[in-house]
Amino acid sequence: MQHPATDADFDKIMSEAGATPVLLKFSATWCGPCVSISGDMEDLANEYAGNLICIHVDVDALEATSQKYGISCMPTIKISKGGEVMGEDVQGANMAGIKALVEKALA
């Protein structure tokens, strides 16, 4: 999972993604549910390496990016492909929902 330090770093990763789906995990260090799924999210990123780019977006550090994506709840998981957000979001620590979102994006 990639951890961009700035909004510019995030934009660079997104511009280089091309047609590869990108999983966006919006969270914060102080968010209990976000912390609880961190290990599972890293496992997911490793499982789909090469087919999916995974980005951890710290909403406190990347405020402009979080605002751009309309984040109001954490964690929020989105999938983007070609710069466009696909389908629905998953909110909360719902790993089954997150995995289903990934599978749908890769189908």
**Tokens 């510019």 belong to residue:** 8
Report DSSP state, residue 60: T
Helical spans, DSSP H, in 5-55: 7-17, 32-36, 38-47
Token pair in block for residue 65: 């990016």
Q: What residues are annotated to the active site?
A: 31, 34
